[in-house]
Amino acid sequence: MPAPIRLRELIRTIRTARTQAEEREMIQKECAAIRSSFREEDNTYRCRNVAKLLYMHMLGYPAHFGQLECLKLIASQKFTDKRIGYLGAMLLLDERQDVHLLMTNCIKNDLNHSTQYVQGLALCTLGCMGSSEMCRDLAGEVEKLLKTSNSYLRKKAALCAVHVIRKVPELMEMFLPATKNLLSEKNHGVLHTSVVLLTEMCERSPDMLAHFRKLVPQLVRILKNLIMSGYSPEHDVSGISDPFLQVRILRLLRILGKSDDDSSEAMNDILAQVATNTETSKNVGNAILYETVLTIMDIKSESGLRVLAINILGRFLLNNDKNIRYVALTSLLKTVQTDHNAVQRHRSTIVDCLKDLDVSIKRRAMELSFALVNGNNIRGMMKELLYFLDSCDPEFKADCASGVFLAAEKYAPSKRWHIDTIMRVLTTAGSYVRDDSVPNLIQLITNSVEMHAYTVQRLYKALLDDISQQPLVQVASWCIGEYGDLLVSGQCEEEEPIQVSEDEVLDVLEGLLVSNLSAPVTRGYSLTAIMKLSTRFSSVNRIKKVVSIYGSSIDVELQQRAVEYNALFKKYDHMRPALLERMPIMEKSASNGPTEIVQTNGETEPSVVEPKHLPPVTQPVNQANDLLDLLGGNDVVPVIQTTMPTKPASAGGELLDLLGDLSLSGGPAPASSVPTSQPSFLMDGLSSQPLFNDIAAAAIPPMTAYNKNGLKIDFTFERANPNPNIAVITIHASNSTEADMTDFVFQAAVPKTFQLQLLSPSSNVVPALNQGTVTQVIRVLNPQKQQLRMRIKLTYTLKGSPVQDLAEVNNFPPQSWQ
């Protein structure tokens, strides 16, 4: 058999192959030759064959038939053979094959070989792929080699020991005595690997950590020598003396100093020295500085040092080198939790990094920007982040969108801003937002009661532009269904109102139903929206037609809904208005709105309707009852005693309509509705929205709250401008008796849903005979726009005898609490 070709012949031949098939053919031929050569048990050429096999393995062809040959090579006496054999073992074998155990004896012999290079080879192989059994058997040998004076072997033994510890953690104690004088070595290679070994031991066991803490002074000294030593040619890398060792030592110091005051204190000086003395013009200097910064942040360093560290990171951010910026952003991300203020100082630089071309830097900058958002900078940051959302890659859009939602929720300065932001996200990155953002957004919209008209108008306009982004379309159709009446009536305070007719709205919604771009869920939304509009619009026939068409739709979900809505038109027409009323404000923690259901008409809902479309009759009623209870369980009689000055003629009917509608958000009641069975309760519960939208926010008439025994108390009202929920009431107390009322104290109590603030009175003497008044300002916060009720307590001294009186004030004009 001719001598097998050499490795480079093979390589040359393979390189001439022009196609993959040719290459495969050549390799197969060669494999066959190698296999037959192995069978012949030829010692001279085995090494060559295995080398070729390794090359073919690298190219991706199977090479397991060479595993045993590697073992034979290892067992050979020649260094060349051993070298290739061990290399083959490292590349082809691993602990999953049983063959590797056969190596154990060879390695053991080689660990005790006379030639250091053979010992080195054995250590290397054991350190790369030794299994736990092998490690257990050979740990003793490794430990012995750890103590030799030969630095070449010592450093290899140290790394081999690391591998042994990783595989068999229980053997860690065995290496402890050998580590005693590892750090007193002069050879940097040994020092380096010893530090790695110590690091590994400290990371694995807290006892070791405590034990090695006493090495901190020694490590500090070594580091100091490295920095101060000046130029040493053998360890120099770009002007710095052995940066790899410096970085390793810094890392070990970090582990040792964590949560330990003494060690941290011992390190403070050297860290400051490294931080200030290291040259930053080359990458090596920056590598050391970076490691120093990480160490400073992790140990219990003094605050001056921490500020120095953050400033170094800030400097990194301005560096031209992208790697440095990346590294700085990563570490700032780690420190932003603990040193938030310091990182805030670099906010503008971080925001600039959003515009970087590099994907990795953009991602880090985005995460860091979200971490830095707070109440103060929300507007500016959000502008930048939205701009980023517009222009970033699709892989970022989902994360960015969810981040924006979270930040907006936490720090939104106003409802309108919040809604605007969310709309912007939906229009730009609509298809990437997460599924749960749709219900969250709907809940947010129902909560911001005064923004309904504005919201629905904007959503309608967005729909006209683009119906491909499903989350946007879903939210928009829901809103149009709920607030379509606002849209058509064209009232919007925030923006220029648009003129939309009912037909146009229905056109749009029907368009959604038939469009190819709509997902089935979206179609469901729009069908329900159309149905809801049947109580808000007047063109009911068109809606009936649409609904009946879909009664035979192929989509089962749509069909079921349509059939049941049809039934609503036909058999249950009297229930329709009650069912399709406005939704109340949803509680965030509750699943989907009120969980109790008062049977208004004693009949149950069609089951297909989603839970959140169930009529929200109960909540206001319960709240009204609470109010009454709080105030001492007084009358259940309707509380509204004020006159309603500009009530139109059909007052009675409309009031009842409104009660039937129970609208918590504004708008004139729809035309057809049926009075419900318990008008008085519902009247109690009637809250919030103005009954008459045409009453402007004019002056609220004053009222007399109390008039008894010569003491008259008048209330005058103002609205606090920045917050319309706050009513400012000024009381004027006047005394028509002949004697002064001294020690006059006015106290007031309001139900739980309100908050009261009583400012100090002008004086506590009410002069007699109406000569003067005592004034006091009360501020009432009424977030839920409940009807204002108050109980007052008056104490004063008249003609020497103390007088005390309690009274209820129920005759607040409606404008005061709306």
Partner 1 sequence: MIKAILIFNNHGKPRLSKFYEHYNEDIEQQIIRETFHLVSKRDENVCNFLEGGMLIGGSDYKLIYRHYATLYFVFCVDSSESELGILDLIQVFVETLDKCFENVCELDLIFHVDKVHNILAEMVMGGMVLETNMNEIITQVDAQNKMEKSEVRLTLPVHYFYLSVYQAGQVDTGRYCRSACSCRISCKEHEPPGNAQKHQHW
Closest CB to partner 1 among residues 15, 588: 15
Q: Are 287 and 321 in contact (CB under 8 A)?
A: no
**Which position among 4, 66, 85, 127 is part of the footprint of partner 1 (CB under 8 A)?**
127
CA distances from 298 to 208, 305, 336, 340, 605 (A): 19, 12, 13, 15, 60
By CB under 8 A, is residue 290 in contact with partner 1?
A: yes
Which residue in 12, 83, 100 sits closest to 48, CA to CA? 83
Residue 97 Cβ vs partner 1, minimum distance, rounded to whole Å: 10
- What whole-number distance in Å separates Cα of residue 596 and Cα of residue 593? 9
**Which position among 70, 159, 208, 366 is part of the footprint of partner 1 (CB under 8 A)?**
159
| Contact stretch for partner 1 (CB under 8 A) within 8-16, 304-312, 503-511, 699-707 | 8-16
| Contact stretch for partner 1 (CB under 8 A) within 67-75, 84-92, 388-396, 581-589 | 84-92
Closest CB to partner 1 among residues 12, 574: 12
DSSP 201-254: HHHH-HHHHHHHGGGHHHHHHHHHHHHHT---GGGEETTEE-HHHHHHHHHHHH
Site for partner 1 in 352-391 (CB under 8 A): 357-361
* Helix or strand (DSSP H, E) at 103: helix 103-111
Residue 1 Cβ vs partner 1, minimum distance, rounded to whole Å: 19
DSSP category for residue 766:
B
**Which position among 24, 78, 383, 708 is part of the footprint of partner 1 (CB under 8 A)?**
78
**Which position among 46, 156, 397, 418 is part of the footprint of partner 1 (CB under 8 A)?**
156
Which residue in 479, 477, 478, 499 sits closest to 488, CA to CA? 499
Closest CB to partner 1 among residues 68, 590: 68
Residue 38 Cβ vs partner 1, minimum distance, rounded to whole Å: 19
Residue 91 Cβ vs partner 1, minimum distance, rounded to whole Å: 8
CA-based R_g, the chain, Å: 41
- What whole-number distance in Å separates Cα of residue 747 and Cα of residue 806? 9
By CB under 8 A, is residue 44 in contact with partner 1?
A: yes
Site for partner 1 in 229-288 (CB under 8 A): 234-235, 237, 242-245, 247, 251, 283-284, 286-287
By CB under 8 A, is residue 95 in contact with partner 1?
A: yes
Closest CB to partner 1 among residues 199, 428: 199
**Which position among 42, 113, 152, 674 is part of the footprint of partner 1 (CB under 8 A)?**
152
**Which position among 27, 70, 84, 488 is part of the footprint of partner 1 (CB under 8 A)?**
84
Q: Are 557 and 520 in contact (CB under 8 A)?
A: yes
- What whole-number distance in Å separates Cα of residue 256 and Cα of residue 209? 7
- What whole-number distance in Å separates Cα of residue 142 and Cα of residue 178? 10
- What whole-number distance in Å separates Cα of residue 568 and Cα of residue 174? 82
How many residues lie near partner 1 (CB under 8 A)?
72
List the structure tokens of 67: 């595993």
Long-range contacts (CB closer than 8 Å, 24 or more residues apart) made by 408-413: 408/378, 408/382, 409/444, 410/373, 411/373, 411/374, 411/375, 411/378, 412/378, 413/375, 413/378, 413/379
Residue 452 Cβ vs partner 1, minimum distance, rounded to whole Å: 43
Residue 120 Cβ vs partner 1, minimum distance, rounded to whole Å: 8
- What whole-number distance in Å separates Cα of residue 621 and Cα of residue 598? 9
Q: How many residues would you count in the chain? A: 818
- What whole-number distance in Å separates Cα of residue 404 and Cα of residue 378? 10
| Contact stretch for partner 1 (CB under 8 A) within 83-91, 485-493, 663-671, 799-807 | 83-91
Site for partner 1 in 168-207 (CB under 8 A): 188-189, 192-193, 196
Residue 369 Cβ vs partner 1, minimum distance, rounded to whole Å: 18
**Which position among 62, 304, 632, 652 is part of the footprint of partner 1 (CB under 8 A)?**
62
Closest CB to partner 1 among residues 214, 334: 334
Closest CB to partner 1 among residues 368, 583: 368
Closest CB to partner 1 among residues 332, 373: 332
Per-residue binding letters, 524-563, with partner 1 (x by CB under 8 A) = ----------------------------------------
Residue 131 Cβ vs partner 1, minimum distance, rounded to whole Å: 10
Give the pairing of strands 741-749 and 726-735: unpaired
